[in-house]
Chains A and B, each alone.
Chain A
């Protein structure tokens, strides 16, 4: 047998095993064995890793973190039954596309906040209620989460938000109107607020909905 023939054989086995492996996530899901199905969504910020449990989106990861590290973390903290799944992530990928094309303002895919707990989880739940196109403040979300003095803790809860964009922590700004921090980078926070029409492109200037009172009115 020729060496080239052997090499071709090796490649054929590699290809076929890849095809078979791709079919596995659906078979696993049918048998209730798929705990986390992940996929990648394109965005203006690069490729986002999205991971779904049966309850909803459990994490959305910006491109700075390597997918390998993120998946290791998911395996350790959610379940090691993690497989790439086109089917499980189909809807969230489509909705994110529409969001970035300004054709979608709310997401129908639920979020699974199991990676957070206690006060952090409450802060994220309150943040999830801030409408598209408006902003709120750290003071406001910490008060709504039950701790009026917990602004710093609220900031930390938002900084460790496992599902950015979906739980719009970018809509939480400082009481004076300054942007405040963002785990994905302040530029990205500004870009998201510009996309939503809450911030004018290129400037940190709010478009009419800047005062705490206005925000509160929109958000009750």
Chain B
């Protein structure tokens, strides 16, 4: 394809290429209730900044950085709101049917433990625990295990060092283990 000018693809193809990964990420990092709002805010923020991009490299990393910020913002404003009652009730209901496959061991097994951190049942106790993690730990854990990204990539989207990414993942996993055992 002969891209003239600055080589930024039309926004529609950028959106088509990355919408699924962004949505999957937000389902996990922000939770199913916030995911759709965060999705729209992520892509609107991307659209606003889009013409200023200098080239079309690393757009996936760029959009996940924005999504991470939106997920963190959402969790902060969520914490300020009172606990939503239907949410808690639904968790109770869901627990009855789903508890048998509580994902305790799976988290520790790493990125290739398919079926571990996949956003199947939003009321799975595992997800409740993930959502209780501090925002940066949650973002790091989700990127590692849901998106199967390397620590280097996580560091790039989160704006820290690789060591910080490792630390966030390991702290997050530690809390999850404690929570779920």
List residues of A whose CB falls within 8 A of some B CB: 1, 5-6, 9, 13-14, 16-18, 20-21, 23-24, 27-28, 31, 33, 36, 38, 68-69, 71-77, 79-84
- Choose among A28, A72, A73 the residue with the greatest number of B CB atoms under 10 Å from its CB: A72
Bound complex: CA A75 to CA B1 (Å): 13
B167 at the interface (CB under 8 A from A): no
Given A13-B27, A28-B47, A1:B10 Cβ within 8 A: no
**Could you give, for residues 1-30 of chain B, a 1 whenever the CB lies within 8 Å of some chain A CB and a 0 otherwise?**
111111111111101100110111001000
Instruction: Verify if B123 is at the interface (C-beta below 8 Å from A).
Output: no
Kindly identify which residue among A14, A18, A33, A75 contacts B9, using a CB–CB cutoff of 8 Å. Answer: A75
Contact partners of A1 in chain B: CB under 8 A = 101, 114-115, 118, 120
Assuming the A-B contacts A20-B36, A71-B10, A73-B4, are A13 and B114 also in contact, with contact meaning beta carbons closer than 8 angstroms in the complex? no
Q: How far is the CB of A128 from chain B (nearest CB, A)?
A: 27
In the complex, A52 Cα to B28 Cα: how many Å?
A: 37
> Restricting to B90-142, which residues have a CB under 8 Å from any CB of A?
101, 114-115, 118-120
Name A21's contact: one of B2, B19, B53 (CB within 8 Å): B19
- Considering the complex, give the chain A residue whose CB is closest to the CB of B51: A80
Nearest Cβ distance between residue A71 and chain B, in whole angstroms? Answer: 4
B120 and A71 within 8 A (CB): no
Q: Could you say which interface size class chain B belongs to?
A: 35 or more
Listed residue (A18, A68, A80) with the most chain B CB atoms within 10 angstroms of its CB: A80
Residues from chain A with a CB closer than 8 A to the CB of B7 are 76
Instruction: Report the separation of the CA atoms of residues A160 and B6 in the bound assembly, to the nearest whole angstrom.
Output: 23
A80 x B9 contact (CB < 8 A): yes
Q: Are B48 and A33 in contact (CB under 8 A)?
A: yes
By a CB distance below 8 angstroms, the chain B residues around A24 are 15, 40, 43-44, 47
In the A-B complex, the 8 residue pairs with the smallest Cβ-Cβ separation, listed nearest first, are: A76-B5, A1-B115, A17-B23, A82-B10, A17-B19, A75-B10, A71-B10, A76-B4
Contact B3 A72 (CB under 8 A): yes
Given contacts A13-B27, A27-B40, A82-B11, 5 further A-B contacts (CB under 8 A): A1-B114, A14-B20, A21-B15, A76-B5, A76-B7
Partner of A71, one of B12, B40, B50, B119: B12
In contact, B114 and A28 (Cβ under 8 angstroms) = no
Measured between beta carbons, the chain A residues less than 8 angstroms from B145 are none
How many Å lie between the Cα of A186 and that of B103 in the bound state? 67
Contact of A6 among B15, B20, B40, B118 (CB under 8 A): B118
Nearest-neighbour CB distance to chain A for B68, whole angstroms, equals: 17
A36 to chain B, nearest CB (A): 8
**A20→B9 contact, CB < 8 A:** no
Residues in A neighbouring B8, C-beta threshold 8 A: 75, 80
Bound CA–CA A38/B13 (angstroms): 13
In the complex, the answer to whether A6 meets B115 with C-beta atoms within 8 Å is: yes
A75–B14 Cα distance when bound, in Å, is 12
Give bound CA distance, A208 to B18, whole Å. 57
**A82 to chain B: closest residue by CB:** B10
Q: Which residues of B contact A16 (CB under 8 A)?
A: 23
In the complex formed, the residue of B with least CB distance to A35 is: B51
Q: Determine the chain A residues whose CB is within 8 A of the CB of B1 once the complex forms.
A: 68-69, 72
A75 to B12, CA, bound (A): 10
Among the listed B22, B36, B118, which residue makes an inter-chain contact with A9, where contact means beta carbons less than 8 Å apart?
B118
Interface string of B67-80 (1 = CB under 8 A from A): 00000000000000
A38 to B10, CA, bound (A): 11
